[in-house]
Amino acid sequence: MIDRALCIGINAYGNGSDLAGCVNDAQEWAVLLSQRGAQGVQLFDGDATRWNILAAMTTLVRQLGRGQTGVITYSGHGTWVPDEDGDESDHRDEALCPVDLWDNGVITDDELFEVFTSRVYGSRLVFISDSCHSGTVNRFASPLRPTGRRVRFLPPAAFLDGARLDRARALPAVRAGRSRTSALTLAGCRDDEFSYDASFDGRANGAFTRVALDELDGLPQEASYADWRRAISWKLPSQDYPQTPQLQGTASQKRWPVL
């Protein structure tokens, strides 16, 4: 049983950075979560501003009571920015890209941490992110036969300038790490990988979202998030989509009943 849901999908970034499958992802998550009892909010394209996303996340988290579960899904560009407070070993903050990032900036993992930790003790929060630098197995499945693909990553040079851009360019190559979040997080790839915007049977979707939804259908009723992650790992990474979905959280969170 899911009590509250927030589904975010952004295709229309402009500046040559548009995506194709993110709104479809968010709509499909919204339908699924509604079927499982959630009261939902959806933010697509122009509505998915930095302020609106943070406000909607904060509202969802504060509305959760003890014993209740909330799910937040995000499909869109991901990125990283230089760490400002020294809490990241790789000197980067992973970040989500709202539609107005060109004017108002990104949403960092530090900001998500502050929102997610404001929830009531005993409530459950799940964050599903289909974006680059959102969070390892070495198995490669057979091709998923795409008709097109694009990475869901915006390089820092696309929106940073001045001293912050100089700092970003001086950092060493990205390596795998852990996002700073208190929610159970199911992410489309490791921090040093890309999540792919693709097409399946003529419909645009994120490769991770498509596989995650398809594998969810085949899980037994008592399945956990660890079981779901394991099922996804049979399809990703693949020859077409070299991305390794991640499940980050405590041991007890990973044993929660899936959705």
pLDDT in tens, 13-39: 999 999 999 999 999 999 999 999 999
CATH number, domain at 198? 3.40.50.1460
Q: Which residue reads 């979040």 in tokens?
A: 181
Tell me if 112 is assigned to some domain: yes
Active site residue 91: no
What are 102-128's pLDDT values in tens digits?
Answer: 999 999 989 999 999 999 999 999 999
Q: Which of 7, 132, 133, 189 is catalytic?
A: 132
Sheet containing strand 124-130, edge to edge, reads: 39-44, 4-9, 69-75, 124-130, 184-187, 246-248
Domain count, the chain: 1
Asked if the structure places residue 118 within a domain, the reply is: yes
Residue 42 near residue 54, CB atoms below 8 Å:
no
Query: Mind listing the pLDDT tens digit for each residue in 154-188?
Result: 888 888 888 777 777 777 665 554 544 579 999 99
For the question of residue 7 being annotated catalytic, the response is no
Whether 26 is covered by a domain: the verdict is yes
Domain, as residue range, for 203: 4-254
CA distances from 15 to 18, 150, 178 (A): 8, 15, 30
What are 39-55's pLDDT values in tens digits?
Answer: 999 999 999 999 999 99
Structure tokens at 6: 């927030």
Number of helices (H) and strands (E) in the chain: give both, helices first. 8, 12
Contacts of 125 (CB under 8 A, 6+ apart): 61, 64, 69, 70, 71, 72, 116, 119, 182, 183, 184
Q: Which two tokens stand for residue 38?
A: 């959630």
Q: Would you say residue 141 lies in a domain?
A: yes
C-alpha distances (whole Å) from 254 to each of 37, 120, 124, 251 are 21, 19, 12, 5
Q: Is residue 259 part of a domain?
A: no
- In the set 77, 97, 133, 189, the catalytic residue is 77
